[in-house]
A and B are shown apart, each in its own frame.
Chain A
Amino acid sequence: MTATEITPTDGKGLVKFGQPLLRREDDPILRGRARFTDDIPVPGALYMEVVRSSHAHARIVSIDTSGAKAMPGVVAVYTGGELAEDWKGETPVLIQPDPAPLLAPKWTPVATDKANYVGEPIAVVLAETRAQAADALEAIIVDYDVLPAVATPEDAYTDRVVIHEDLGTNKAYTWELAITPESVEAAFAEAAYTVKQRHIQQRCLPAPMETRAVCAVPDPTGTGNFTLYSSTQMVHLLRTLLALRLGMPEQKLRVVAPNVGGGFGSKLQTYPEESLCLALARRLERPVRWVEDRSECGVAMIHGRGQVQDIELAATADGKITAVRVHLIGDLGAHCKLFTPGIPVLGGPFYHGTYDIPAIAVTVTSVYTNLPPTDAYRGAGRPEATYAIERAVDGLAAVMNMDPAELRRRNLIGPFENGHQTVCMVPLDSGQYELALNRALELVGYEAFRKEQAERRAAGSTKHLGVGMASYVEVCGYAPSRMMAAGGGKFALWGTSVVRFLPTGKVLVTTGSHPHGQGHETSWAQIVSDRLGVPFEDVEVLLNDTAIAPYGVLTGGSRSLSVEGAALAVTCDKVIAKAKTLAAHLLEAAEDDIVFDSGSFAVKGTPARSLPITDLAYTLSFDAHLLPEGMEPNLSAETTWDPPNFTFPFGAHIAVVEVDEETGGVELKQFVAVDDCGNQLNPVLVEGQVAGGLVQGIGQALFEHAAYDADGNPLSPTLADYLVPSAAEVPSFTLDSTVTPSPSNPLGTKGVGEAGAIGSTPAVINAIVDALLPLGVTNVTMPASPMTVWRAIQAAKAANGKETGR
């Protein structure tokens, strides 16, 4: 898509749903004027620094703060015990796998007697300047009694060391999805082929480019009100959670998310530093601010992924997959954050992937470890599930010596427009899985590639070509509240929107969901311009502030357009309905005879007599005496919309790699993604979301690992150790889409925020394994660094071509 194809308006200033549109958000950012949390000047603010545990598991014997307290500019130093009275309540766990009972340890923003991971806050220091606070941090002396640490989920599973003594075990819960356990057993007993694999979903750092930042400001007039600025994905939910934790009246707290520098799920959360800044501002009656260093971010922010997956497939002689069985250990980290225990389970009902597999059994046991908590990271459970099934299908294809595309075609769920109930009782909305796969195969030139691969293999080259594909379906549109509750949700995720016409015919719009880079302002103005027929430029979108926006639960799970955008469309329709009643009254016609087109009402057949909706906005405001009896004098509406169903985006990703047998180096040569996110409001933003997601998924496959040593010490908390891919590590992608509208919402959209990160990871690893199949390599662990790949090659060679991967 090129810039010249993008026309912002049609001459009247109207834009349409589906029109490629550039963002109105860009200008202040491009000029360096946009304000992120740490950019906001707050006179008189104290700077907070956090003392963090340097041990993964240790009793805190003593903390000597006397030296720090005597340093210049230091205003206060508090240990966990000294802050205990500030915490009036707890932070709830918002997804609890149902019906498995959840064992969850209590935690406070600052640990008191024991630290359970490197990076856990154990004290705070406040000083007049950032530098003074940082200096004082160095002067705090902590005496630890170091305990044996649990650094892997497998170790945690054994209960060799029990981290939370009061729980008596490291196992938080065991959740089972066994719709037809007998048929799973029978399928494996009767199978012509089976495949069994173990996959490690390594911990990943979400690594938004903006780390977290918080600033709590007491109202200087002494009302007892506070404003909290935070780089968050959820201003309203954060306000509720802080009110609970601090015992602060919710109405006295305003939460603002200024420009937010990316989140990817990591800011779908409440963290100790938010509670701390607010509690300390309350204590000291001064603004308190904090910004996270990048190295701090690596241990203080949630991690993503962190699972050990054992997956087995059973298949008939002609390649029909008859059962899938999964045993999964989820690594929750030291304690549960908002959604922690729900993430491993979220992928549970999707281990059949896009395939019609009649029997499924999934067992998830999640455990506590002495590592930072895991939680939602782009995809949250679906990338892991997709990875396992897509790797297993390739494994089955290898065992059967069948083309992996052909094996997929034999098993894909056929096309459906309006509902398909899966074996796990999930009501998929609409899908055309084979269409997306075939399109991707066509774009990559699959047949020609296989020919080239065969030629290169015949020539005995040590530069091996491989192609890997992944077909995926995921779940978005969070969430229909009844389904959410049935799945263990302890909160609801409806969407909210408000549309207000001003007397001059201009429009103010707000929704509960707010952006951290997606382009909500452009998107909401586009929906309103399209629906109400008012100029794009006349629609002002106000977001990110609890004082402005209606209660919105959060921005995550690719839900904004399909839930909050849908709520906005519903509100626009309410506004039209009200204005139509007035138009009929003023035009002295029956309401059924009034038509609405491009922003104007007219009587059917007499278009000359028309009333623009913008004029009616004035009438409804100031000419209220003209209104029909009983009509409220305003042209405004609002909606809280609880969707009837989830949405289920899908697609197919294909990677082409060249693997150097001598070095283990992998070059990603080509990548094709065909994604179906239903109707597309703005294709420019869709492509942007997909491309960004792809690099995160590719990053997990090839580069990224939040690694820890056996004692639970972080090995890669900084961006020097943790390899976020740069432009030089990835190619340009071939992006395309199919469009299968969703029946779940009035816009027909499905969501596209996470899709890129879901199909890409297995596609890349499938490609590497495909390249190395002739050498006997059947699996490669992530990230597939040159060393890892080289070792896999050596192991396969040593086994003389026998299967060595698990």
Chain B
Amino acid sequence: MRLEVTVNDTPYANEIEPRTLLVHYLREVLGLTGTKIGCDTSSCGACTVLVDGESVKSCTAFAAQFNGAVITTIEGLAGTGDLTRVQQAFHEHHALQCGFCTAGMVMAATSLLDEIPNPTEADVREGLEGNLCRCTGYQNIVKAVLAAAER
């Protein structure tokens, strides 16, 4: 089937198998490997992208569901320009170690701050519940998101 989407401001049109997951489309067809696959049960959030501004776990959605959608992946947040406030805060607060959860975590945090511009610590912890990290203990991720909110 034919899929037309806009990803990171670039329009694409591709023939895909109907069963293609969005994450496989992004990684294997478009070569946007910044989005990761961390599980197969929609539990870890490493594959989180923004679809029309909303966070979506791209491993549990078919690409075919998004015909005509505007998608932003981690590569599209800052491109080669200045880091976004969330990315910059992740750096300044040492909120990433191995970095495998980072793309999903940054996308989820970006979406969270869109919805709740001035979150409490509890808001951040609950808001990121769907994104798992095994390295940081979340301590610095929470600090980073709260700091990003203040910018």
Contacts and interface: CB of A to CB of B under 8 A. Distances in A.
Interface stretch (A248-256, A716-724, A768-776): A716-724
A685 interface: yes
Contacts of A39: 27, 33
B139 A691 contact: yes
A643 to B, nearest CB: 25
Interface in B32-55: 32-44, 46
B105 to A, nearest CB: 9
B70 to A, nearest CB: 18
A210 B78 contact: no
B96 A29 contact: yes
Nearest to A261: B100
B96 A26 contact: yes
Nearest to B103: A32
B101 interface: yes
B74 interface: yes
A32 B98 contact: no
Contacts, number: 185
Given A23-B94, A684-B94, A685-B94, A209 B136 contact: no
Contact of A30 (B33, B37, B91, B121): B91
A425 interface: no
Given A36-B100, A517-B98, A696 B134 contact: yes
Interface string A652-695: 00000000000000000000000000000000110110111111
A719 B39 contact: yes
Interface residues of B, number: 63
A262 B137 contact: no
B132 A726 contact: yes
B24 to A, nearest CB: 8
A210 B104 CA distance: 13
A208 B38 CA distance: 9
A719 B44 contact: yes
Nearest to B79: A31
A727 B138 contact: yes
A716 to B, nearest CB: 11
B138 A30 contact: no
B36 to A, nearest CB: 7
B129 A22 contact: no
A726 B98 contact: no
A727 B141 contact: yes
Interface string B50-89: 0000000000000000000000011101111001000100
Interface stretch (A476-484, A537-545, A728-736): A728-736
A518 interface: yes
Interface string A20-38: 0011011101111111101
Interface string A511-532: 0000011110000000000000
B140 A688 contact: yes
A259 interface: yes
A73 to B, nearest CB: 12
B102 interface: yes
Contacts of B124: 727
B135 A131 contact: no
Contact of A259 (B24, B37, B99): B99
Interface in A310-353: none
Nearest to B75: A32
B90 interface: yes
Interface string B9-34: 00000000101000010011001111
A719 B132 contact: yes
A680 B39 CA distance: 35
B139 A728 contact: no
A30 B96 contact: yes
A32 B34 contact: yes
Contact of A209 (B28, B42, B94, B98): B98
Given A131-B17, A719-B39, A726-B130, A692 B100 contact: no
A3 interface: yes
Nearest to B28: A130
A315 B138 CA distance: 41
Interface of A: 3, 6, 22-23, 25-27, 29-36, 38-39, 41, 130-131, 207-211, 259-262, 264, 291, 293-295, 516-519, 684-685, 687-688, 690-696, 718-720, 724, 726-728, 730, 732-733, 735, 756
Given A264-B134, A719-B132, 13 more contacts: A22-B91, A23-B94, A30-B90, A31-B74, A32-B32, A32-B35, A209-B36, A684-B94, A687-B94, A726-B128, A726-B129, A727-B138, A728-B128
Q: Which 7 A-B pairs have the closest CB atoms?
A: A32-B34, A261-B100, A517-B98, A32-B74, A691-B137, A29-B99, A3-B92
